[in-house]
Structure 1
């Protein structure tokens, strides 16, 4: 796995167009992983538009991929302001020797949701979002530390120690021409590895729905 951090030029019209439409941004990023006559391999990369900008006020995008990106293939003049050197995540995170109990800081923008009557519904309450993430952790080989309760006068259920922010409704136009809107939130905190193989697969494949729209990338740091 390779991690890339790129910075888009907000003065470029095409970059502003992509930033306004996640589907279009995904399509542009695909060009870094295949030639024009090829189709981008399914699951080749995950990406996330970060809430912060860099010192020059350029929007930052985190891209995690199975192969190293070739940003020169995105030949739109002025689209890319800068690209940091790629990071080998296997080496940086020592994934080959990853064991139970390893603790990481993490960030995840995701679509916490449930399916009812065949429709996918976003979870809007904080408690529901926390429960959703804890459940995903059980499925993907990690656990969340619990909040310490200081009020012992009344029993209360333990809650995961996670920060939830940047609620956002993402919208874009699919290749079919249909517009779609997806609810998303940004999760941040610490996690503890419980099943290394499942956890490594979550890093590679992402978590939840909406990956084409920049959701699902679980990024971690020691």
Structure 2
């Protein structure tokens, strides 16, 4: 499992197009993992457009993949401004020796939602967004620190200690007449590993819906 960081050059017309259309950006990234005119294997990679740019102002994208990407496969001239050396996550994070109680800083852009009457609805309330992440933690083998908050009307209540920002609707187009709209937020915080095997699987497969739109990648740094 490898993590790469690439920098796009917004002076390139195709790069600007991809930055405005997450579905198209995913399609372009697929070229680094499959030959031309070949469908990219499902689950081969996940990605996230970071909110921060690099020093020269270029947008940064994290790409986590099963195998090393071949960036030469993206044949658009000027699309890539820079490519950082890939990191072997299994080695960097010692994934094979994870233990319950280990703590990591994390970032996750995700689609907190519920399904009602067969439709997926984004959760717009902060408390609901926190509850969604807490449930995903229980499902995927990690927990989040608890913060005791004071509410003027309801006295004390316990909530998870996580920063939620970057609320936005992501819009993409599969075809000219088939558009995708998905609600997303950015989570930043600390987590503790509870069940190592479940947690490793979450790192490999991602969390929640919208993978082709740049959602679901759980990235870690040692606490």
Same fold, judged at TM 0.5 (above): yes
1:100-149 deviation digits (Å, cap 9, x = unpaired): 00000000000000000111000000000000000000000000000144
Deviation at 1:180, TM superposition (A): 1.5
> Does 1:83 pair with 2:115?
no
1:159 matched to which residue of 2?
Answer: 159
1:32 matched to which residue of 2?
Answer: 32
Alignment check: 8 A CA contact 2:47 2:61 kept: yes
Alignment check: 8 A CA contact 2:113 2:121 kept: yes
Structure 1 residues without counterparts, runs of 5 or longer: none
Distance in 1 (CA, whole Å) between partners of 2:55 and 2:120 is: 38
TM superposition score normalised by structure 1: 0.97
Alignment check: 8 A CA contact 2:151 2:157 kept: no
CA RMSD of aligned residues (A): 1.6
Deviation at 1:153, TM superposition (A): 11
1:145 matched to which residue of 2?
Answer: 145
More moved, 36-45 vs 158-167: 36-45
Q: What SS does the corresponding residue of 1:5 show, helix, strand or coil?
A: strand
1:198 matched to which residue of 2?
Answer: 198
1:170 matched to which residue of 2?
Answer: 170
Q: What SS does the corresponding residue of 2:156 show, helix, strand or coil?
A: coil
2:186 matched to which residue of 1?
Answer: 186
1:22 matched to which residue of 2?
Answer: 22
1:4 matched to which residue of 2?
Answer: 4
More moved, 83-92 vs 154-163: 154-163
Q: From the superposition, tell whether residues 15 and 152 of structure 1 become closer, same or farther in structure 2 (CA, over 3 Å).
A: closer
Distance in 1 (CA, whole Å) between partners of 2:174 and 2:154 is: 49
Q: From the superposition, tell whether residues 55 and 156 of structure 1 become closer, same or farther in structure 2 (CA, over 3 Å).
A: same
Alignment check: 8 A CA contact 2:150 2:156 kept: no
Q: From the superposition, tell whether residues 35 and 167 of structure 1 become closer, same or farther in structure 2 (CA, over 3 Å).
A: same
1:218 matched to which residue of 2?
Answer: 218
Distance in 1 (CA, whole Å) between partners of 2:212 and 2:56 is: 27
Q: Would you say how many aligned residue pairs link Structure 1 and Structure 2?
A: 222
Distance in 1 (CA, whole Å) between partners of 2:45 and 2:67 is: 8
1:110 matched to which residue of 2?
Answer: 110
Structure 2 residues without counterparts, runs of 5 or longer: none
Deviation at 1:150, TM superposition (A): 6.5
Deviation at 1:221, TM superposition (A): 0.5
Q: What SS does the corresponding residue of 1:7 show, helix, strand or coil?
A: strand
Q: What SS does the corresponding residue of 2:158 show, helix, strand or coil?
A: coil
